[in-house]
Structure 1
Amino acid sequence: MKNWKQTLVLAAALVATSAHAGAIDSLKKFNQDTDGLSGSFTQTVQSKKKNQTSSGTFQILRPGLFKWDYSRPYKQTIVGDGKHIWLYDIDLKQVTKSNQDQTIGDSPAAILSNKTALESSYTLKEDGSAGGIQYVLATPKRANAGYQFIRIGFQGDKLAAMELKDGFGNQTAIKFNNINTKPNLSRGTFKFVAPKGVDVLSN
């Protein structure tokens, strides 16, 4: 009877281990196989004062090109063309232009648009599963990184979620949907031209 119980416990442990063993492999396969990416997202930012939820669509062409279109609760477009980031606030009729390398740092845009960004700047380990999503925990290798941690979630080999906590304690949760890893994208997709009558500010 004792041996039977030990076997059962061992089997349960092996099942639990195998269930949590694939997130890093999924991340590495995702980075290796994915040159382009598109889909929709819902993003919730939780700060000490309030929570704010927004949603929209995104497009990524690796390396370094991305476009995030926020549609709710406000309309805003963020484009990275490889050299500059263009932030277009439609309601304010204002565009802010900044250097891409200096601006995005270790942000989700940088991580998703660069195959090597995560492993070069973060230490990775398995971080369990929740709601059918397996997570990788990424902790920064340098003390002055922009984030305390980043969690990236996969359902199988499909990107499903990201969770981030910045240096100020604000937490961001992103859920991805309608993921397409073979989108028909060209570099021209990420060329931004400011609309007429819109103020352009440079950082």
Structure 2
Amino acid sequence: MKSTALIKFVTAAGLSAAIGFAQAGAVDALKKFNNDADGISGSFSQTVKSKKKTQTTHGTFQILRPGLFKWEYTKPYKQTIVGDGKTIWLYDVDLAQVTKSSQNQAIGDSPAAILSNKTALDSSYTLKEDGSASGVDYVLATPKKNNAGYQYIRIGFKGDTLAAMQLKDSFGNETTINFNNLNTKPKLSRSSFKFTPPKGVDVLSN
């Protein structure tokens, strides 16, 4: 369940975490990023609420377009998810296990597709302004396909900085992500997104 939740988070956060400014409204900021931004880095906290429990995790992330990303969970457990353009690698330190899957199949029409395909924003989502709360302006991204796996995604900006994302999946689980220390011009290289399974771990394929 932990690995499934992490993959869902990464594909969802791919849309939101890759946004750094909202000067002319949240929708305009999202579209501007989709056209202009090449990468982003920062830290995050994530809270997932299901019918049975609530869990909060913390970590850092890096994104480099087209299609490269790395999410490192540091608390309360250590896991790393790397997308190298072809394969998504999920390394669970506690289990000493690596799971790999096809990146195209894993992200599908998810928000992460926006990282590698600039047409995904308009082709997969309907966007509209969605009000303000506690100084944060929101844009609502609604999937155009019924089988997208998400009921909606809300992306919030405070001033010109991404502040939060809210996601509700098709099972009713709610995820809230708060972002900090964002850098919309990180110095990243493609080699930073190469992943080699550590010696002695089990490698599984999906």
With the length of structure 2 as denominator, give the TM-score of the two structures. 0.84
Q: Which AA in structure 1 matches 2:164?
A: A
Residues 63, 157 of structure 1: alpha-carbon distance in 2 compared, 3 angstrom cutoff = farther
Within 1, Cα distance between the matches of 2:43 and 2:96? 24
Could you tell me which residue of structure 2 aligns to residue 135 of structure 1? 138
CA contact (8 A) 1:105 1:146 kept: no
Corresponding residue SS for 1:28:
helix
For residue 26 of structure 1, the aligned residue among 11, 29, 33 is 29
Could you tell me which residue of structure 2 aligns to residue 195 of structure 1? 198
Residue 117 of structure 1: how far off its partner (Å):
2.8
Q: Provide the aligned C-alpha RMSD in A.
A: 1.5
Within 1, Cα distance between the matches of 2:37 and 2:106? 24
Residues 128, 113 of structure 1: alpha-carbon distance in 2 compared, 3 angstrom cutoff = farther
Structural mapping, 1:97-116, within 5 Å: 97-111=100-114, 114-116=117-119
Corresponding residue SS for 1:30:
helix
Q: Which has the larger radius of gyration?
A: 1
Cα-to-partner distance string for 1:145-182 (whole Å, 9 max, x where unaligned): 11010111122332221111111000111111000011
Structural mapping, 1:35-114, within 5 Å: 35-111=38-114, 114=117
Calculate percent identity across the aligned residue pairs: 79
Within 2, Cα distance between the matches of 1:24 and 1:157? 13
Within 1, Cα distance between the matches of 2:158 and 2:176? 16
Residues 48, 106 of structure 1: alpha-carbon distance in 2 compared, 3 angstrom cutoff = farther
For residue 185 of structure 1, the aligned residue among 173, 183, 188 is 188
Q: Which AA in structure 2 matches 1:75?
A: K
Stretches of structure 1 that go unaligned for 5 or more consecutive residues are 1-20
Could you tell me which residue of structure 1 aligns to residue 165 of structure 2? 162
With the length of structure 1 as denominator, give the TM-score of the two structures. 0.85
Could you tell me which residue of structure 2 aligns to residue 10 of structure 1? none
Could you tell me which residue of structure 1 aligns to residue 148 of structure 2? 145
Residue 31 of structure 1: how far off its partner (Å):
2.2
Figure out how many residues of one structure are paired with residues of the other and give that number: 183
Stretches of structure 2 that go unaligned for 5 or more consecutive residues are 1-23
Residue 37 of structure 1: how far off its partner (Å):
0.3
Could you tell me which residue of structure 2 aligns to residue 18 of structure 1? none
